[in-house]
Structures are given as C-alpha cells and as structure tokens.
Structure 1
Amino acid sequence: MEAISLFVQPKPLLSDTIERVVAEGTLKGRPIRLNPGDYLFREGDDMRDTFYLTRGLVRLYSDTPDGYTKTVFFHKAGTLIGFQGFRPEIDRKPSILNAKATTKVEAYALDAESFGDYLKAHGEVCYAMAQYLFEMMALQTREAVNASIYPVLQRFSALLLTLAREFNSAQAPAIVPFSNEELAEMLGVHVNSITNSVVALRNADCVERQRGALVITDFRKLKSIAENLIASS
C-alpha cells in the first residue's frame, strides 16, 4: 500500500505545454492572484473556466452535513483544477466543491471550451490530460481503501510523513504547519481522533505540538507506526 497523498502532482508534458501556449497567446489565460484564504471558486458556482496554477497551494474540499469539511486534494503549481466546463451545456452542473488558497496563489483561468478545442487538436497533450485525470481518480480510490483498512493513528502518521515531504522537511525536527482541525479535515475524521493520535505520538516521542503546527521529532519512530502505508517514504 502506498503512502497517503493528498497532493496532486504535475505532469511535465501537460504543464510545460500549457505554459508555452499561454505565453504564445495560442491559448488565452486570464491571470489570477489570490491571498491565503481567498476562494478560487465555491460550491454552487457555475464554472466555465479551468484553472492552471503557476504558484502556491490550493485546497479542494467539500462541506459535510455536520458542519465540518473534508479535504479532497491539495493542488500545487503545475496542476489543473476545475473541469465542470468540459461537460456539455445541457449536462453542466454547479461545482460541488470549494477551492481555497492555502498560500499566495498565481494562476491562469483558461476558457474550458477553448482549452477543450486545443486538446482535441493535439493528441499527445490530450493523452497527458487523460493520464492526469486518471491519477487524480487513483488518489481518491487509494485513500478510500486506506480509510477502510488502516486505523486513524496509522493513517495520521503516514499523513504527517507525506506533509513533511511536501514541505521539504525530510529530517527532524520537521514542522507540519497545520492545526488539529485542519489535519482532521484532511483525513475526514473528527478532530477528537486527531487529538488522541497526537497524544499517542507525543507519548511515543515522535512529535511535539507547537502553536498552529506539529513538529516531527523522530522520523524513524513515526515510520514504524505508519508501517505498510509508507513503503516508499
């Protein structure tokens, strides 16, 4: 089983092509800049654009009936987000997810119809797009399987290792800059489950809590708790 990963990875052929054709003017891209906490789009919006991120981190999440939220993905620079515009007009529905800037974000809004026409005319790029979308589906499937098999403590440990890697902190002490509430949203569990997991990891001398962040103090011990979820970490 692979480690938990909420971060969508760029596909070089796709991202390089988009950056080139936007720079050339072949594909029109409207520049967007967001501050942390700004929304790229919200649930219920009628989306006609696909967004290509050139800088920063965007959290894609859903609201739950009990007032919590569940992170679906984090999108990094070089990735695409928002595909409602690819549906035929008669089948088009509002967005069911929210996209919110975690850091300062720069992006291009690409008209979905024009982007679709470009993909139809360029088979290799269209295939890279299909691979990109399939990999996002695979991430969701993998997390669903993880949630059904592994206990929260094990999944939480794997999540911390994944976040440390994404924030380029491969050695202790490594700061994971999220609160218990935010970490609960990522795993889709109640915050009490994360609080209990943090206590267990502190007792195992793996982590320490700082204001608004966790500090990994021992990667080896944390990996031993995550077990099979970190085969390649």
Structure 2
Amino acid sequence: MYTKEQFSLPLPAMRDFVRAKSFGVLATHHAGEVFTSPLPIDLRETADGELFVAGHVARANGMSAVFETGAPATITVLGPDTYVPAEWFGTRSRIPTWLYCAVEISGRLELSDDTRKRADVEVLIDRLQRDAVPGSTWTLDEIPAHLSEEYLKHIVGYRLLDLRLTSCFRLNQGKGGIESLADALRSAGDSARRELADLTLAPPTADADPTPAPPTAGPDRSAS
C-alpha cells in the first residue's frame, strides 16, 4: 500500500484499529489466479508478543486451497472515507480530494488443523460477543453438537504469520482549511464523515502536525 510517513499510524494504533474493525479483505495469489474474500479477522499475539491473524473461510471458497501452500497474502482493513469537494475547505481554489483510513497486514498463510480451527473460532466469537453484548456468556457449546460440528466441517481455518503492518490515514495533514473541513464533515449527516471530522482535527498518525500550513491554491499533490 502506498503511504507516507505523515499518514502512518504507530504500531499500537494500527493493532487497535484492526481489532476494533475485525473485518477486512483477504487477498492472495496462486497458480496465476488472484483470490479475494471479505472476512472476519482476529488479530492476536503469542505469549512472546508476535502478532498473527486467525481466521477462516467457507470450504467451498476456492481460496481455501491456497492455505496449504504457505502463499503470501494481504488483508486490507478499511475505516471511514469520503470525497471532499473544494468548497469544504472554505475556498474554491483547492483540488477536491479523498480522505480515508486503511491498515494493510501482509504475511504468509498457514493452514490450521481441526483443533486449532475450532479454538480460533471460539476465541473470535467470545471476543465479539462480549463487545456486542456486554456481559454475554454465549458460547458455541450452546448450539447442538451435531449443528456446530456441521458448521465447523464446512469451514477451513488459517493463520497469517510473519506479519508486516502498514497504514494510510489520509486526513488533510499539514494542509490548510482544517476547521472549515471539520465543520463541513460534521454537518454532512453521515456517521463516517462525523468520525472523519474528529480525526482531521486530531490525526492519530505518527507524525501529525498540529499546526497546519496556510491554505494554498496549488494542486493537492499528495493524492494517491
């Protein structure tokens, strides 16, 4: 993923962003074919502090055949995004642009056996249940055994190992018109834009400049 230092999050922030979303697009390549699948993902770490992703796909998904090969793969996790017209900067002398938030996770795939697959599914469900329903004690064991076994039989588990995380939170850093932009985003009546309004005022990126440059009529050359 193309990015710049001023658009990059520190590793703890990338980890928290991915865990908050827990959903992304897994992409890999094998035998001349590109496979992509939108999937729930679980970014975790070992006792030694090594990050890994645990996940699964439907057995009928052609991607599942790739897991045994140890192929490289990438997961893209997207946050809020929006088109920004020139007027939102409080001027008509700005090139329209796009604000967006994304984290990319690259690594190598490893097939999970049935024991690890079930354990990973249970860990993911437990975390998401508690996030969605405070105090939830629901587990996979509440489903009749023959139904849960049938479900598990029809999925294939994987782990993504040896991870490299990159990020691009493109939030108008270092440019003018931030207050005007934030006001326009807030008034747009869209939850993603309201979230972006707060992010533009206080970017979580590693090298965020709290004092933006004055407005310029020149082209926005950082667009990608």
Q: TM-score range by the shorter chain?
A: under 0.3
- Work out which of the two has the higher radius of gyration on C-alpha atoms and give 1 or 2: 2
TM-score (norm 2): 0.27
- Specify which structure has the higher proportion of strand: 2
* TM-score, normalised via structure 1 length: 0.27
